[in-house]
Structure 1
């Protein structure tokens, strides 16, 4: 005595279980890909923030006794028009800094990404520090800057393509 209804029910259950396994596998794969994308994006954000902080730290720390070293540190992170403008504008800076006995010390308080994609980013950086030179009687005077930094990805590094004081 065969039960055709039972066979149909078992086939239906097996089919539903098979569909559930396939559906679950697809969901697991999507979750894995989402996590990989999120990890890659977090790594990119970290790289962008590190590059912006490094560039601005170099930018707000300059001492007339080793001015060329400070200038070279900024130039190392620069690219494109910003690199050209910076190179052109720093030709006589060492003489001016030495004559004024200028020392600028600063640090980045915070940095935040305003816009970012896989090969460009804009970051706002807030700094605090001091400037001492002949016009301040070589006494440190407080300075705070808000700077917008535009970066582009060149090979495996983020380089500064523009620096703009915003506040």
Structure 2
């Protein structure tokens, strides 16, 4: 009787051990997935924030460099349109001696999947130029569509909202 009882206890403990290991595996997998998703969200937000800073920061003394930063983080139609308008924008910024310093106040993801995302960003910038030498505060709400290309999130559309 003792040996069958002992075997029953061993079998019971083995079953419990297998169940605990399975539960630990499932929990570990869920933690891994959560961290991967959180990492992706942080990459998306970082790309959107940086684009808005680049887009709202211009200095007439470095106009081409500042515009190139926007182009480097762009793709698709947005990149083509911005590239086509960049020479006129650079000329306008230089003629008016414009300096704009942007900063992101908040950013949030509206939606995302493996290859695309939509982000809303609230930003401010202080703009000085010939017409407003003392500076003027500007407030923006910007919606960005991003597309993943390789290991980078690039802006495929940018528009001012609300």
TM-score (norm 2): 0.92
User: Size of the alignment, in residue pairs?
Assistant: 162
Counterpart CA distance in 2 for 1:67 and 1:91 is 10
Aligned to 1:92: 88
Hey, what's the Cα distance between the residues in 2 that align with 1:71 and 1:46?
A: 25
Instruction: Quote the residue 1:140 is aligned against.
Output: 135
Match of 1:124 among 120, 126, 137: 120
Matched, 1:162 2:157: yes
For the pair 1:43 / 2:39, whether they are aligned, the reply is yes
Stretches of structure 1 lacking an aligned partner (at least 5 in a row): none
Larger-Rg structure = 1
Offset, 1:58: 0.5
CA distance in 2, matches of 1:67, 1:43: 33
- Whether 1:57 aligns to 2:53 is yes
Q: What's the CA shift string for 1:39-93, capped at 9, x where partnerless?
A: 1111111111111111110000011111111100100100111111111121211
Q: How do 1:6-45 and structure 2 match up within 5 A?
A: 6-45=2-41
Q: CA RMSD in A?
A: 1.5
Q: With the length of structure 1 as denominator, give the TM-score of the two structures.
A: 0.90
